[in-house]
């Protein structure tokens, strides 16, 4: 279905801005209705699913039938309150993820008013001339007007994973590109014939990107931990209840004891707390310009042990400026910055222009013809659209006053790819045809047999080849990216890249990003290896590596990598290495070899062919600005600023997340352990119930959740980036966690039972209220011990986590209400307690702060 049928080979000028509003009015925005998000009511009702809720509902019914109406009501109210808390958390997670999704808006290049402009893809209207580069998603259904040897991946539409050939002027579907698919080879220009809902791909959901809903490793592991504990809890609770009943205790009391036990053991809040922590973690990362497409990324990132990174644009700015130009007859210096042509080319200190120097003139003609980059003056500054490497060469040509090349002079093209490392264009040169080639020096030079001298082409001898090679190495040694330019006269359709005439070498500067050196140092001190994988030559790569603090790593070139056996590669990978002159498929080999060494690999990529490596890596990282849509959809993490230091910041954030998850898991389980031990010990002692089921529900569901979420928001430990990466399957609870559970459990159980039994002679309700309040206070107070397992709270700062202070205060105030406010007294069967009781509780709570703090201080002193 199409909603317009403009002329297939419509004017290259595209639409004018004035035409757009009417077309938009008629066809609407180029977007699809978003799937409706779950309504608040649906999210609220979702809270009533799950096993625990069923048990509690059953308990409420049993209590009701046994005429314990108040208990039934209390359980019901706790259920509702729990649902409200769950709702608030899920709602926050949902809105946080929504904000992330909104950041994935795609853009497209269209011709408006005769110039190429980048606009949000949703603004395309039928009739727009759209330009699509390799690796980009097709933003609307297009009739091709230019582009040959194109290939499109239409698997989203057809399920067919082999790319299909496309070409301008071809019949039917071969001459069209469809929205939602991706161009995987070539550069296409086409007229939009259908947009938004009218496109064949009725659901371009993929274009807007997806922030995955998949459960993360951590969520799964914690989910199954909670399930196992839940099943065990039920079995134990059932057994205890039966035994008690069999020993002659009243049925209702035993049902309630069993229920208390089950409720006390199950870490109910866990899954919800993990989800909200990861979602808030993802938002925190996005604020640092790292967009997690899957929550999984947040969790794996913290365990990353190797970062394999591209050089251009990630470690460097990808703002290329040609600084030197060299021909066998002369060396030139180039002034000026960026893409502003306000500099000049000088030879021995004297300005030269294309008209003064035939070799320079020929070279600049190739620089200006063999390109897709364009420079445009806007207000007072110059902007470049296209590839920065090409932009730098075009700027050079402007600086040298090269003759302009009209677009129609270009007849055919063999595009640049990281595999070929060169590009050729066949173009008119007066009444003749000329093939212009530019690319990596060794590749272009190998295809040259002449060089251009002042009087025309002369054969290229070995001595001159060696001089070219030396000049190349000299420029590369200074960290310049070097491209060779060559050309020759050609016959029509003659695109053979051989027998070329060498013209010269352009050395361009791409400055390292200023913040990268520190990020590299941070990564290294965190035990994370940084490996540069670049398409650039070994010398350029080594110079940049040195500059950013990667030392002088061993260099493995792509051609050598091809010959290495897996064992040899694995061995080489155990020292510091960098990879130069690689092709995209090398990345996959490198990832696999590193994974064979049980490393957790973060791998960056931007091109179509990087997708397999991004998918295989533990954390695939795509570039938000420069990356192709194909690479973005294969990645787990998108760098919104393409910046290496963002990866390191994201890893730090991932480590913080994992630490915090561990903190609250340990905290929650320690709290539960105290309750369980108290109930079991009390059963053995034979006294009345120490806590009522509703009281336990209150502690676990209402107050613990809030403190746990607050722990999840704890700031990073300052030494977290000085530790080695954790193993990916490192247990969350671990031995330390189990020991803590025992210590805290035994102490809090003992203390609350002591309160209970000393007060029992004054009445069960009073004793129980004090024991219950005691346990709650112990749990709240012990949270400070979990804020950091290594640093005393004194150095963490008592008030540094505002959320925790708020959660702590609210929980305590709520408990005061429970003890003194009649409606809550009725619901939770409490009675008022005296100041002396509070004092006893406070005294017993003191060791929960003092002892862990003492331990940490001792440890710190020992470590020093
Ligand atoms: P990195 O892998 O560090 O990001 P890169 O991706 O820029 O580097 P490639 O794009 O594979 O590396 O480029 C490899 C080589 O190909 C460059 O060193 C350069 O010599 C040559 N080259 C780069 N861009 C072009 C281009 N547009 N046309 C022709 N040759 C190019």
As a whole number of angstroms, the distance between CA 679 and CA 740 comes to: 19
Task: Determine the atom of ligand 1 nearest the C-alpha atom of 532.
Answer: 3
As a whole number of angstroms, the distance between CA 31 and CA 207 comes to: 9
Asked if pLDDT for residue 615 goes beyond 80, the answer is: yes
Q: Which of 439, 557, 626 to mutate to test the pocket of ligand 1 (most atoms within 8 A of CB)?
A: 439
pLDDT in tens, 245-261: 887 777 777 777 787 77
Taking residues 206-228, report their average pLDDT.
Answer: 57
Report how far ligand 1's centroid is from the alpha carbon of 318 (Å): 11
Report how far ligand 1's centroid is from the alpha carbon of 535 (Å): 6
Provide the pLDDT for residue 426: 95
Report how far ligand 1's centroid is from the alpha carbon of 389 (Å): 8
Task: Determine the atom of ligand 1 nearest the C-alpha atom of 311.
Answer: 3
Report how far ligand 1's centroid is from the alpha carbon of 98 (Å): 36
What are the CA-CA distances from residue 508 to residues 338, 455, 475 (Å)? 11, 28, 9
As a whole number of angstroms, the distance between CA 413 and CA 429 comes to: 15
Asked if pLDDT for residue 63 goes beyond 80, the answer is: no
Task: Determine the atom of ligand 1 nearest the C-alpha atom of 540.
Answer: 18
| Nearest CA residue ID for atom 4, ligand 1 | 312
Report how far ligand 1's centroid is from the alpha carbon of 533 (Å): 12
Task: Determine the atom of ligand 1 nearest the C-alpha atom of 607.
Answer: 6
Q: Are 112 and 729 in contact (CB under 8 A)?
A: no
Taking residues 289-313, report their average pLDDT.
Answer: 84
- Cβ of 606 closer than 6 Å to ligand 1, yes or no, is no
Asked if pLDDT for residue 32 goes beyond 80, the answer is: no
**Coil, strand or helix: which one is 720?**
helix
Asked if pLDDT for residue 208 goes beyond 60, the answer is: no
- Cβ of 423 closer than 6 Å to ligand 1, yes or no, is yes
| Nearest CA residue ID for atom 2, ligand 1 | 534
Task: Determine the atom of ligand 1 nearest the C-alpha atom of 439.
Answer: 30
- Cβ of 534 closer than 6 Å to ligand 1, yes or no, is yes
Asked if pLDDT for residue 198 goes beyond 70, the answer is: yes
The larger pLDDT score, comparing residue 138 to residue 439, is at 439
- Cβ of 475 closer than 6 Å to ligand 1, yes or no, is no
Q: Determine the Cα angle at 441 with ends 404 and 382, to 5°.
A: 35
Report how far ligand 1's centroid is from the alpha carbon of 290 (Å): 25
Provide the pLDDT for residue 567: 92
Q: What would the two tokens of residue 567 be? A: 């064992």
pLDDT in tens, 531-574: 999 999 999 999 999 999 998 789 999 999 999 999 999 999 98
Taking residues 597-613, report their average pLDDT.
Answer: 88
Provide the pLDDT for residue 793: 81
Report how far ligand 1's centroid is from the alpha carbon of 657 (Å): 37
DSSP 344-375: -EEETTEEE-GGG-HHHHHHHHHHHHS---EE
Q: Please state the three-class secondary structure of 727-748 as a single string.
A: CCCCCCCHHHHHHHHHHHHHHH
Provide the pLDDT for residue 773: 96
| Nearest CA residue ID for atom 5, ligand 1 | 535
Q: What are the residues whose beta carbons fall under 8 Å from the beta carbon of 593, sequence distance 6 or more?
A: 566, 569, 570, 573
Cα-Cα end-to-end distance for the chain = 73
- Cβ of 603 closer than 6 Å to ligand 1, yes or no, is no
Report how far ligand 1's centroid is from the alpha carbon of 633 (Å): 23
| Nearest CA residue ID for atom 13, ligand 1 | 535
Strands 529-532 and 306-309: parallel
Q: What is the chain's Cα-based Rg?
A: 34
Report how far ligand 1's centroid is from the alpha carbon of 35 (Å): 40
- Cβ of 388 closer than 6 Å to ligand 1, yes or no, is no
- Cβ of 741 closer than 6 Å to ligand 1, yes or no, is no
Choose, from 71, 128, 310, 510, the residue flagged as catalytic.
310
Percent of residues, the chain, with pLDDT higher than 70 = 91
- Cβ of 216 closer than 6 Å to ligand 1, yes or no, is no
Provide the pLDDT for residue 261: 76
- Cβ of 310 closer than 6 Å to ligand 1, yes or no, is yes
Provide the pLDDT for residue 815: 94
Residue 713 C-beta-side C-alpha neighbours within 13 Å: 17
As a whole number of angstroms, the distance between CA 565 and CA 166 comes to: 38
Q: Quick one: CATH architecture of 321-509?
A: 3-Layer(aba) Sandwich (3.40)
Helix (H) or strand (E) segment spanning residue 843: helix 835-863
Provide the pLDDT for residue 89: 67
- Cβ of 318 closer than 6 Å to ligand 1, yes or no, is no
| Nearest CA residue ID for atom 12, ligand 1 | 535
Provide the pLDDT for residue 210: 40
Asked if pLDDT for residue 2 goes beyond 70, the answer is: no
Taking residues 52-79, report their average pLDDT.
Answer: 76
Q: For domain 302-316+514-648, give the CATH superfamily.
A: HAD superfamily/HAD-like (3.40.50.1000)
As a whole number of angstroms, the distance between CA 272 and CA 348 comes to: 70
Report how far ligand 1's centroid is from the alpha carbon of 710 (Å): 48
Task: Determine the atom of ligand 1 nearest the C-alpha atom of 438.
Answer: 29
Asked if pLDDT for residue 498 goes beyond 50, the answer is: yes
Binned at pLDDT 50, 70 and 90, residue 591 comes out as: very high
What DSSP designation does 137 have? B
Q: Determine the Cα angle at 20 with ends 15 and 26, to 5°.
A: 125
User: CA 685 from chain center: how many Å?
Assistant: 54
Asked if pLDDT for residue 171 goes beyond 50, the answer is: yes
**Coil, strand or helix: which one is 617?**
coil
For residues 227, 228, 234, 237, the Cα torsion angle rounded to the nearest 10 degrees is -140
Task: Determine the atom of ligand 1 nearest the C-alpha atom of 441.
Answer: 20
Provide the pLDDT for residue 207: 36
- Cβ of 390 closer than 6 Å to ligand 1, yes or no, is yes
| Nearest CA residue ID for atom 14, ligand 1 | 535
Task: Determine the atom of ligand 1 nearest the C-alpha atom of 443.
Answer: 20
- Cβ of 208 closer than 6 Å to ligand 1, yes or no, is no
Binned at pLDDT 50, 70 and 90, residue 334 comes out as: very high
The larger pLDDT score, comparing residue 737 to residue 253, is at 737
Report how far ligand 1's centroid is from the alpha carbon of 532 (Å): 14
Q: Are 683 and 753 in contact (CB under 8 A)?
A: no
Asked if pLDDT for residue 116 goes beyond 50, the answer is: yes
Binned at pLDDT 50, 70 and 90, residue 213 comes out as: very low
- Cβ of 422 closer than 6 Å to ligand 1, yes or no, is yes
Provide the pLDDT for residue 518: 94
Provide the pLDDT for residue 679: 87
Provide the pLDDT for residue 164: 85
Provide the pLDDT for residue 754: 96
As a whole number of angstroms, the distance between CA 133 and CA 529 comes to: 33
For residues 688, 691, 695, 701, the Cα torsion angle rounded to the nearest 10 degrees is -140
- Cβ of 578 closer than 6 Å to ligand 1, yes or no, is no
**CATH code of domain 45-91+214-301+649-720+727-863:** 1.20.1110.10
pLDDT in tens, 787-837: 887 888 878 888 888 999 999 999 999 999 999 999 999 888 999 999 999
Binned at pLDDT 50, 70 and 90, residue 98 comes out as: low
As a whole number of angstroms, the distance between CA 757 and CA 412 comes to: 93
Task: Determine the atom of ligand 1 nearest the C-alpha atom of 316.
Answer: 3
As a whole number of angstroms, the distance between CA 114 and CA 105 comes to: 25
Provide the pLDDT for residue 192: 92
Q: Which of 368, 483, 561 to mutate to test the pocket of ligand 1 (most atoms within 8 A of CB)?
A: 483
- Cβ of 544 closer than 6 Å to ligand 1, yes or no, is no
Q: Are 672 and 736 in contact (CB under 8 A)?
A: no
Q: Please state the three-class secondary structure of 452-517 as a single string.
A: EECCEEEECCHHHHHHHHHHHHHHHHCCCEEEEEEEEEECCCCCCCCCEEEEEEEEEECCECCCHH
- Mean pLDDT computed over every residue of the chain: 85
Provide the pLDDT for residue 295: 66
Q: What are the residues whose beta carbons fall under 8 Å from the beta carbon of 278, sequence distance 6 or more?
A: 216, 218, 219, 295, 298, 299, 657, 661
As a whole number of angstroms, the distance between CA 226 and CA 68 comes to: 30
- Cβ of 389 closer than 6 Å to ligand 1, yes or no, is yes
Provide the pLDDT for residue 211: 37
Task: Determine the atom of ligand 1 nearest the C-alpha atom of 481.
Answer: 18
pLDDT in tens, 763-801: 999 999 999 999 999 999 999 888 887 888 878 888 888
Report how far ligand 1's centroid is from the alpha carbon of 476 (Å): 14
Taking residues 642-657, report their average pLDDT.
Answer: 91
Task: Determine the atom of ligand 1 nearest the C-alpha atom of 440.
Answer: 20
As a whole number of angstroms, the distance between CA 89 and CA 95 comes to: 10
Binned at pLDDT 50, 70 and 90, residue 319 comes out as: confident
Q: Are 286 and 637 in contact (CB under 8 A)?
A: no
- Cβ of 421 closer than 6 Å to ligand 1, yes or no, is yes
| Nearest CA residue ID for atom 10, ligand 1 | 418
Query: Per mean pLDDT, which range of 28-32, 623-627, 700-704 is the poorest?
Result: 700-704
Q: Which of 418, 500, 548 to mutate to test the pocket of ligand 1 (most atoms within 8 A of CB)?
A: 418
Provide the pLDDT for residue 592: 93
Report how far ligand 1's centroid is from the alpha carbon of 421 (Å): 6
Domain range annotation of the chain: 45-91+214-301+649-720+727-863, 302-316+514-648, 321-509
Report how far ligand 1's centroid is from the alpha carbon of 440 (Å): 7
From the list 309, 455, 453, 437, the residue with the least C-alpha distance to 369 is 437
Asked if pLDDT for residue 444 goes beyond 90, the answer is: yes
pLDDT in tens, 378-402: 777 888 888 899 999 999 999 999 9
Helix (H) or strand (E) segment spanning residue 164: strand 164-166
What DSSP designation does 316 have? B
Taking residues 614-635, report their average pLDDT.
Answer: 85
| Nearest CA residue ID for atom 1, ligand 1 | 534
Examine the residue annotation and report whether 310 is marked as an active-site residue of this protein.
yes
- Cβ of 193 closer than 6 Å to ligand 1, yes or no, is no
């Amino acid at each position: 279905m199409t909603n317009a049928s403009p002329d297939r080979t419509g004017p290259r000028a595209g639409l004018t801005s004035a035409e757009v509003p009417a077309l938009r009015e008629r066809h609407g925005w180029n977007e699809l209705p978003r799937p409706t998000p779950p309504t608040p009511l649906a999210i609220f009702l979702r809270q009533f699913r799950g096993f625990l809720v069923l048990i509690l509902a059953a308990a409420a019914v049993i209590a009701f039938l046994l005429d314990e109406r108040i208990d039934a009501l209390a359980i019901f109210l706790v259920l509702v309150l729990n649902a409200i808390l769950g709702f608030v958390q899920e709602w926050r997670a949902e809105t946080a993820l929504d904000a992330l999704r909104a950041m994935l808006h795609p853009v497209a290049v269209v011709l408006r008013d005769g110039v190429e402009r980048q606009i949000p893809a949703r603004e395309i209207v039928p009739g727009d001339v759209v330009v699509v580069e390799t690796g980009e998603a097709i933003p609307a259904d297009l009739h091709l007007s230019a582009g040959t040897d194109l290939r499109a991946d239409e698997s989203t539409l057809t399920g067919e994973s082999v790319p299909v050939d496309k070409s301008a002027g071809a019949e039917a579907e071969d001459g069209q590109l469809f929205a939602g698919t991706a161009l995987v080879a070539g550069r296409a220009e086409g007229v939009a014939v259908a947009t938004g809902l009218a496109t064949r791909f009725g659901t371009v959901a993929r274009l807007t990107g997806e922030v995955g809903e998949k459960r993360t490793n951590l969520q799964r592991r914690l989910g199954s931990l909670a399930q196992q504990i839940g099943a065990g809890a039920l079995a134990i609770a059932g057994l205890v209840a039966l035994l008690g009943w069999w020993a002659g205790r009243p049925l209702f009391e035993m049902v309630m004891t069993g229920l208390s036990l089950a409720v006390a053991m199950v870490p109910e809040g866990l899954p919800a707390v993990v989800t909200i922590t990861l979602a808030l973690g993802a938002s925190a990362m996005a604020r640092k310009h790292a967009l997690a497409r899957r929550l999984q990324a947040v969790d794996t990132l913290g365990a990353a042990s190797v970062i394999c990174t591209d050089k251009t644009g990630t470690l460097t700015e990808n703002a290329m400026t040609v600084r030197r130009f060299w021909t066998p007859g002369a060396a030139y210096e180039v002034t000026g910055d960026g893409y502003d042509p306000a500099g000049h080319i000088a030879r021995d200190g004297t300005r030269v222009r294309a008209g003064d120097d035939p070799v320079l003139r020929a070279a600049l003609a190739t620089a200006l013809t063999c390109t897709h980059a364009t420079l445009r003056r806007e207000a007072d500054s110059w902007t470049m659209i296209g590839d920065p490497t090409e932009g730098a060469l075009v700027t050079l040509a402007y600086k040298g006053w090269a003759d302009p090349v009209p677009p129609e002079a270009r007849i055919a093209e063999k595009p640049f790819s990281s595999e070929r490392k060169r590009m050729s264009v066949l173009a008119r040169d007066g009444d003749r045809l000329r093939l212009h080639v530019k690319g990596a020096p060794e590749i272009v030079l190998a295809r040259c047999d002449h060089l251009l001298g002042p009087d025309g082409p002369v054969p290229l001898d070995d001595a001159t080849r060696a001089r070219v090679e030396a000049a190349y190495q000299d420029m590369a040694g200074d960290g310049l990216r070097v491209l060779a330019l060559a050309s020759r006269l050609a016959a029509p359709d003659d695109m053979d890249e051989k027998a070329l005439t060498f013209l010269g070498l352009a050395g361009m500067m791409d400055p390292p990003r200023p913040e990268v050196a520190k990020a590299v140092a941070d990564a290294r001190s965190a035990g994370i290896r940084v490996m540069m994988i670049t398409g650039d030559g070994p010398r350029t790569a080594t110079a940049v590596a040195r500059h950013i603090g990667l030392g002088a790593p061993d260099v493995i070139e792509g051609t050598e990598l091809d010959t290495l056996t897996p064992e040899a590669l694995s061995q080489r990978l155990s020292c510091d290495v960098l990879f130069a002159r690689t092709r995209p498929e090398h990345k996959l080999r490198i990832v696999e070899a590193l994974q064979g060494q049980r490393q957790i690999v973060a791998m960056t990529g931007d091109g179509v062919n990087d997708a397999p490596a991004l998918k295989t890596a533990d954390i695939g990282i795509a570039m938000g600005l420069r990356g192709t849509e194909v690479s973005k959809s294969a990645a787990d993490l998108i760098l919104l600023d393409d910046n290496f230091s963002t990866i390191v910041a994201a890893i730090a954030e991932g480590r913080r997340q994992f630490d915090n998850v561990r903190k609250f898991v340990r905290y929650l389980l320690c709290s539960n352990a105290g309750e369980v031990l108290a109930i079991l010990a009390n059963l053995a002692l034979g006294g009345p119930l120490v806590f009522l089921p509703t009281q336990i529900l209150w502690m676990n569901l209402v107050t613990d959740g809030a403190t746990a979420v607050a722990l999840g928001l704890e700031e990073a430990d300052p030494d977290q980036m000085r530790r080695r990466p954790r193993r990916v399957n490192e247990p969350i609870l671990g031995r330390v966690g189990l020991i803590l559970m025992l210590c805290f459990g035994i102490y809090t159980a003992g203390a609350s039972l002591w309160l209970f039994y000393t007060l029992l002679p004054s009445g069960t309700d009073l004793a129980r209220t004090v024991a219950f309040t005691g346990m709650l206070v112990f749990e709240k107070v012990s949270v400070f011990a979990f804020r950091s397992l290594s640093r005393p709270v004194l150095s963490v700062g008592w008030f540094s986590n505002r959320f925790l202070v708020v959660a702590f205060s609210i929980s305590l105030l709520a408990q005061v209400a429970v003890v003194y406010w009649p409606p809550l007294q009725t619901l939770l069967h409490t009675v008022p307690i005296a100041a002396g009781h509070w004092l006893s509780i406070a005294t017993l709570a003191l060791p929960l702060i003092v002892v862990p703090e003492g331990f940490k201080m001792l440890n710190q002193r020992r470590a020093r």
